[in-house]
Structure 1
């Protein structure tokens, strides 16, 4: 049963660009990009289940998350959309493109391949649990707690976007951390659906990221045969590290698709 996702919608009548964040992200992380893209497009950014302001429910399967997204498109009366997904969100949009290709005008996949990956989030989960137990009352305290398990300041800043102040003035996690951890194996697995999506596709990857290597490209093109692959001088969070280059690549692709 699909759930009602929280979303940001810039409005408009044209074919929208639907933005889907990665694991532990949210629509809020994309606000600066939305401001740029809305000059040319209607943009809809979603909070996936157990993220942002969307409901917390058991199960993080890609078919279920794709159905959540499809239900939102139906609710908004969107017949076709350009889908843009980063990391886990990339697997969500690939899943939707395979399950309901007629609803997808084009696909933009940011730094992920339609493959299963190994585990590499233990320290992140430990940091979030430390914050949960520590009950910080300000951002400095929260960062100190996160730093016990995560050294990189950029990663800590990203994780801290999941904190919000409660009625007792304590910063609490707004994500469904239990649900995410319980189904972590599924998140790290392959997208849902079978066969290929043969519509226009752009794959943006980070030159310093291990998520889309040259060795993965043959398997990627088995699922996305029309994929144009562009490499940005960045790591996994390429949209945050190289925002202008990311926007330029997306804009150029959408212009080609819509011309």
Structure 2
């Protein structure tokens, strides 16, 4: 699905179904140096089971025009603009890693629009090591290799991979390299710097009232579960699901992530609540 946001082309994958804004809507927001394809299994299943799906490519990523946005706040505004352009009044926002901060900030800016929030591989503050930021600025290829290794639970892949010879780690690495080739303007550095500088997470968490799901990877070393106590403590009503995966949980534990998202979506009241005059 192609849209136009402030004169620039924007793309959202709809899971192989024609988008219908009258259906309950789920927005899937990818992380740094990624695109909509990281949600391949989840987006198709949800779209074929009663939901309108928008698996977006953030500006400068995948099929959406650049440049990449340099702050989480700007990305949150862009997500809200996507919803308006698609004719969606209320949606469940699901974000992974950087995308989780974008979803959280969007809920702070437009609480009436966000029916529910699913935060995958999240933490706050989402600080990035100075050494990684510097490597991203000077040698993006090496930074991609570093993060790709850290984002997976093991180098040896598991029997649950989709087919013989399929490499979860290799696929993730090639996706990040493809993002660099399509947008050579230091995309990796821009994304990770945005995560590092985001400062509204605690205020957004304190204000959050909608149903919330946390999905954590038990073996995640990028955003380890022990680092999430500020968010989970501030959002005490949030449900926590732990999956047997590293940071790239949608690829390493796709069925477990899908089960968590589908179960959560089924519990969400998507209708806008009428305020009493």
**TM-score band (shorter)?**
0.7 to 0.9
2:231 maps to which of 220, 223, 236: 220
Q: Which runs of 5+ in 1 are unaligned?
A: 131-145, 165-170
Instruction: Assess if the C-alpha contact under 8 Å between 2:30 and 2:36 holds in 1.
Output: yes
Deviations 1:165-205 (A, max 9, x none): xxxxxx97113542542563332233647342111000000
2:27 maps to which of 7, 11, 18: 18
2:194 maps to which of 168, 186, 190: 186
Number of residue pairs matched by the alignment: 238
Instruction: Assess if the C-alpha contact under 8 Å between 1:206 and 1:233 holds in 2.
Output: yes
Cα shift at 1:22 = 0.5
Partner SS, residue 22 of structure 1 = coil
Partner of 1:256: 267
Cα shift at 1:15 = 1.8
Partner SS, residue 112 of structure 2 = helix
> Following the alignment from structure 2 to structure 1, what is the Cα–Cα distance between the partners of residues 147 and 128?
19
Partner SS, residue 44 of structure 1 = strand
> Following the alignment from structure 1 to structure 2, what is the Cα–Cα distance between the partners of residues 159 and 126?
18
Instruction: Assess if the C-alpha contact under 8 Å between 2:95 and 2:102 holds in 1.
Output: yes
1:5 maps to which of 10, 30, 40: 10
Cα shift at 1:60 = 1.7
1:206 correspondence with 2:221:
no
Partner of 2:113: 103
> Following the alignment from structure 2 to structure 1, what is the Cα–Cα distance between the partners of residues 225 and 121?
10
1:39 correspondence with 2:48:
yes
Q: Are residues 172 and 222 of structure 1, via their aligned partners in 2, closer, same or farther at CA, if it must alter by over 3 Å?
A: closer
TM-score under structure 2 normalisation? 0.74
Q: Which runs of 5+ in 2 are unaligned?
A: 150-154, 156-166, 271-277
Of 10-19 and 173-182, the range deviating more from structure 2: 173-182
Deviations 1:29-60 (A, max 9, x none): 22222221112211111011221111222642
TM-score under structure 1 normalisation? 0.79
1:174 maps to which of 157, 182, 185: 182
Partner SS, residue 186 of structure 2 = helix
Instruction: Assess if the C-alpha contact under 8 Å between 1:106 and 1:200 holds in 2.
Output: yes
Partner SS, residue 102 of structure 1 = coil
Q: Are residues 182 and 34 of structure 1, via their aligned partners in 2, closer, same or farther at CA, if it must alter by over 3 Å?
A: closer
Cα shift at 1:89 = 0.5
Partner of 1:160: 174
Partner of 1:30: 39
Alignment RMSD, CA only? Answer: 3.1
